[in-house]
Amino acid sequence: MKRTTPLRAALTALLLTVGLGAAHVGMASAAPLPEPAAAPASAGLLDAMRRDLGLTAAEAEERLSAEKTAVEVEKAARQRTGAAYGGSWFDPATGRLVVAVTDRAEEAEVRALGADTRLVRHNAAALDRAKARLDTLHAPAGVAGWHVDPKTNSVVVDVVRAERRDPDVRSFVDRARAGGPVTVVEKAQPPRTYAAGTVGGDPYYTGNVRCSIGFSVYGGFVTAGHCGQAGAAVRGWDGSAMGTFQGSSFPGDDYAYVSIHSGWWTVPVVLGWGTIPDQLVRGSAEAPVGASICRSGSTTHWRCGTVLAKNETVNYSQGAVYQMTKTSVCAEGGDSGGSFLSGDQAQGVTSGGWGNCSSGGETWFQPVNEILGRYGLRLHTA
């Protein structure tokens, strides 16, 4: 059993990389799990949502409840509408899911499920095909990424504002438009990953890089692929041997699986950094576009925002990464690999973004269910 200090005892066994790069890695002592709260959410979580989303505590509780309902409604609506399904998103103004459909005859049944509807021209399958065609193209550095947007019923191509007139960027946009409905959006900055060089704190180390644990799985944890290659050794906060990267993918994907050595173990907890109580992980049901979402990271601690887009291709300088989820949550260097949660449901591990937590920005994560399926892992849940 590894040595613990009073401070670290409070963080024990939190094998979760909160944040993008640096992370409070779990210690090897068996700290008691936090007790489930009787309320819909802890006071700290509600405070974070009030700070980052501009909600009162009552509004935050109401929204969390509505988003939980929207997850179930989305599943039912997708099955009910079949080929007419055009995508969906959560509308915070109404507290209801909006389902896009291509057939007016489907609207009544969708509304009966408790959702609002919008009639659109293109179904989700057609938009996914248009996006998949873009994934086969080589994107210049001035193209930040692209994703299917159910609200505009199109594929949104993000271009860096300063590069929008670049011939290669314009050529890419022209080819994109030739393959389907496209909306071009200008971004102030290109995306970047959030790994950080070795600094103090409670990180896990791979070479001279520190990153954060995403979520505990049986036998180890998942994190970002850009943090280390398969076979790389991982050191814990105290410099001792902690584990080994068993699998890693970046670019293309941005995920990895680290197995842990004897003396270290994992628990289904995400660190709250004193802002909120440490959070139990109870599953991995995917939140819809528009839902609130929070991130834990050792650099910027606990931050909240909303889901902006799914299945986005992000064009980092190292290469494109596919099937990412975009959020309005801020992040900074040292937060890579960390945990994204919606309520008590694991969503994904932090990959990268643009901006910071002073001026704002956007952050992408790799969905956790994809990682679990890729490596045949089982999420450690409470």
CA 235 vs CA 11, 21, 96: distances in Å: 17, 14, 45
351 flagged as catalytic: no
DSSP 200: S
226 flagged as catalytic: yes
Q: Which of 212, 296, 336, 342 is catalytic?
A: 336
Burial status of residue 62 (CB atoms within 10 A of its CB: 0-12, 13-18, 19 or more): middle
CA distance 204 to 14: 12
CA distance 86 to 63: 24
- Contact partners, residue 261, CB within 8 Å, separation at least 6: 241, 242, 243, 244
Q: Which of 24, 226, 301, 380 is catalytic?
A: 226
- Contact partners, residue 242, CB within 8 Å, separation at least 6: 25, 204, 234, 235, 236, 260, 261, 264
In this structure, is the dihedral angle defined by the CA atoms of residues 282, 38, 305 and 74, taken in order, positive or negative? Answer: positive
Q: What is the DSSP string of 84-122?
A: GEEEEEEETTTTEEEEEES-GGGHHHHHHTT-EEEE-SS
Q: Which of 254, 278, 335, 344 is catalytic?
A: 254
254 flagged as catalytic: yes
Catalytic residues: 226, 254, 336
